[in-house]
Structure 1
Amino acid sequence: MEVKTAVERKTGTVNIGELELESGTVIQEVELAYERVGLTDAPAILVCHALTGSQHAVGEKEMPGYWADMITPGGYIDSDRFQIISFNVLGGCNGSTGPLSIDPRTEEAYQAKFPFITVRDMVCAQQIALEKLGIDHLAAVIGGSLGGMQVLEWGVMYPDKMDRLLPLAVTPYLTDYAIAFNNIARLAILRDPNWNNGNYTEGTIPESGLSLARMVGMITYRSGDLFNERFSRKQRAPAGNFHDEIAYEIESYLDYQGKKLTKRFDANSYLYLLKAMDTHDIGRGRGGWQQAASRIEAPVTALGYSGDLLFPPGSLEQFIHQLRQNGKEGKYTLIDTSFGHDGFLVEFEKWGSIIKSELEH
């Protein structure tokens, strides 16, 4: 009987060499940073992260990852049964090739000269990286938001590479409503005095613009009911001066979240990933999303979250309905939550068992 070798957690980078993007541009010496947890020869699950996430889905005890409570021994995603791999996306700022990386042709950081990328480019890079890691088939691909976009593209681009797809808090294309908010966030950065056409220095980052962009995002990630219940118009100071004063707890919260992001995320990466999300449409160049959906072969289990402003749950349900009309296997569940879009990052007890059940199949 073969003895499996346990690997608690391994991190590193995979050099995938030259990568031709959807635009036709070629990037040299592309690297993807990864986290790998579980058994080295167990079935592999690919976890795809959201906009400001990273490869650290599990993380460390001192700094847990965004799904540390999802991916545990015997847990919803069982690290005793599977190996779980997560990549920092192409264009990210946590070790993968992106605007912070050195362009081998110029030996200078790409910054705003980094080429435009799409979700399809991210998925293509991941597929090559998995092959480099010795993985040619996946038990499942799972992720929410930008991660969910990657899940859907995996299903369309590489339909025979996985046993199951689990897209969360996503739609087959990004809505105009979501693009509008992304545009506000983008302009906040571009109009920051320190932007300098993307050629800012480490000491003069567009902190104000990136912070404001994050605040815009935070408002859309969660529901109005949650904000109202949590803050209840609590004041920190009299609301008589509108110049510099933070009068309400909600203002303090957003200010804190905005500044917090500037300490760990690159403004250029934020812009590139926003634009990649804007172009998300599995039907682009494929005859529409309904036609693209017909390419998917793996069973799909999709979760929508009530109150999601950016990715209306009804659109995800419609996508599953289309799969069924195409004769494919699809399941949809609406998760009742006051967290809105951020529901896929919290309240695992409400929906984690669905994931566990599907993976056990």
Structure 2
Amino acid sequence: MSIQNPTASDRTSATIEIGPFTFESGEQLQQVELAYERVGPVDAPLILVCHALTGNQDAVGLPESPGWWSGLIGPGAPIDTEKYQVITFNVLGGCHGSTGPASLHPETQEPYRLSFPTVTIRDMVHAQYLALQKLDIKHIHSVVGGSLGGMQVCEWGLLYPKFMHALFILAATPYLSDYGIAFNHIGARAIQDDPFYKEGQYNSNEDLRGFELARMAGMVTYRSNKLFEKRFDRGLQPSSQYKIQSYLNYQGEKIKQRFDANSYLYLLNAMNHHDIGRNRGNWKKAAQQYQVPVYSMSFEHDLLYPEDLMQQFSTNVPQGEHRHVSTDYGHDGFLVEFDRWGEWIREKLASLG
């Protein structure tokens, strides 16, 4: 079956005000808005998609600018927008239209920067729930997400256990491991120790070489040694720089053009504190509280979210089912090779009716 991206007439891109919002920390902002993308028939069952660390609300996108999950979502795709409508929010604390550190304070008209309240995964979910209520959406079919998005899916099923029919957690574990926190710490320090960071008061992302290093460190964890060897094979460029070095330099430059460094730090911190067992006994007790089917998926060579922990999580969920995907892409497997695992998503969605 051919898969096509939606046309502009099939897609809504907008922001919605959710009013005053109280964070887990107790801090409150009087004006909060979330940016979102909505695709598909408005009377069809709704699937909520949650994005990863440097993702945004453009999961589907347009033909001239396909979204980050356009291979999974669209007409005829595993998440078929002829059968379902799909909504994706830019997370609270993000930098693509939702209220975050780069947003202007309504009174001072200056960016919040580090005065922005600490954001947790649970804050993100509560904000999205309020946005759905504002859109007059009282129940959804499923919640789907990978990595940071998968962390949100984990919390959706515990904070609002009867709001959906099923959960799809890709490349995410019930808590972030010390290994994951370690790499996040390296990235955060690279940004914070940059002399141009100025304790969050930097003039421009373009000045931040530390942000480039943070992204490079992340890229090394997202993909596997096997994939790097296949792709680069110790290839040299005329400049005598190895191709892998050029690739990492490119990724470092690219992140500065599309993401805010303070927002990146806030989201890293939210990931660090992800633990479904927090204030719920422990993660195994929390896993037993899910009231709907939970479909989880791990990817071979994923250094950050290993198969064994995701398998353990699934066995502790009353209606848990797990699939492991063979891939050389490692953690980034949830963003590519949809032919390897997309049909499993389609089948599980179909089984839910």
CA distance in 2, matches of 1:16, 1:114: 17
Secondary structure (helix, strand or coil) at the match of 1:41 reads coil
| Residue 155 (str. 1) matches residue 149 (str. 2) | no
Relative to structure 1, the CA distance from residue 277 to residue 206 in structure 2 (aligned partners, 3 Å threshold; closer, same or farther) is farther
1:26 paired residue number: 28
Secondary structure (helix, strand or coil) at the match of 1:14 reads strand
| Residue 345 (str. 1) matches residue 339 (str. 2) | no
Deviations 1:239-269 (Å, cap 9, x if unpaired)? Answer: 5xxxxxxx20000000001101101100000
1:244 paired residue number: none
> Does the CA-based 8 Å contact 1:118-1:276 persist in structure 2?
yes
CA distance in 2, matches of 1:122, 1:282: 14
> Does the CA-based 8 Å contact 1:7-1:37 persist in structure 2?
no
Deviations 1:272-304 (Å, cap 9, x if unpaired)? Answer: 000000000000111111111122111011110
CA distance in 2, matches of 1:249, 1:36: 38
| 1:207-246 matched pairs, under 5 angstroms | 207-237=208-238
Deviations 1:169-215 (Å, cap 9, x if unpaired)? Answer: 0100000001000000001101112101101123x644211111100
> Could you tell which deviates more after superposition, 211-220 or 289-298?
289-298
CA distance in 2, matches of 1:268, 1:61: 31
TM-score under structure 1 length normalisation: 0.93
2:348 paired residue number: 358
Deviation, 1:237, is 4.4
2:325 paired residue number: 335
TM-score under structure 2 length normalisation: 0.95
CA distance in 1, matches of 2:307, 2:331: 9
> Could you tell which deviates more after superposition, 123-132 or 229-238?
229-238
Structure 2: where are the runs of 5+ without partners?
1-7
CA distance in 2, matches of 1:233, 1:156: 46
1:288 paired residue number: 282
2:316 paired residue number: 322
Deviation, 1:107, is 2.6
> Does the CA-based 8 Å contact 1:46-1:86 persist in structure 2?
yes
Letter in 2 for 1:36: R
> Does the CA-based 8 Å contact 2:194-2:209 persist in structure 1?
yes
Structure 1: where are the runs of 5+ without partners?
1-5, 240-246
Match of 2:298 among 295, 301, 304: 304
| 1:171-250 matched pairs, under 5 angstroms | 171-202=173-204, 205-237=206-238, 247-250=241-244
Deviations 1:93-114 (Å, cap 9, x if unpaired)? Answer: 0000001111124332101111
> Does the CA-based 8 Å contact 2:206-2:257 persist in structure 1?
no
Q: Which 4+ residue blocks in structure 1 deviate beyond 4 angstroms?
A: none
Match of 1:54 among 53, 56, 61: 56
Letter in 2 for 1:136: K
> Does the CA-based 8 Å contact 1:7-1:38 persist in structure 2?
no
| Residue 273 (str. 1) matches residue 275 (str. 2) | no
Secondary structure (helix, strand or coil) at the match of 2:298 reads strand
CA distance in 2, matches of 1:286, 1:198: 34
RMSD of aligned Cα (Å) = 1.2
> Does the CA-based 8 Å contact 2:196-2:202 persist in structure 1?
yes
- Figure out how many residues of one structure are paired with residues of the other and give that number: 344
> Does the CA-based 8 Å contact 1:119-1:276 persist in structure 2?
yes
Letter in 1 for 2:43: D
Identity %: 53
Deviation, 1:7, is 5.7
1:85 paired residue number: 87
Secondary structure (helix, strand or coil) at the match of 2:126 reads helix
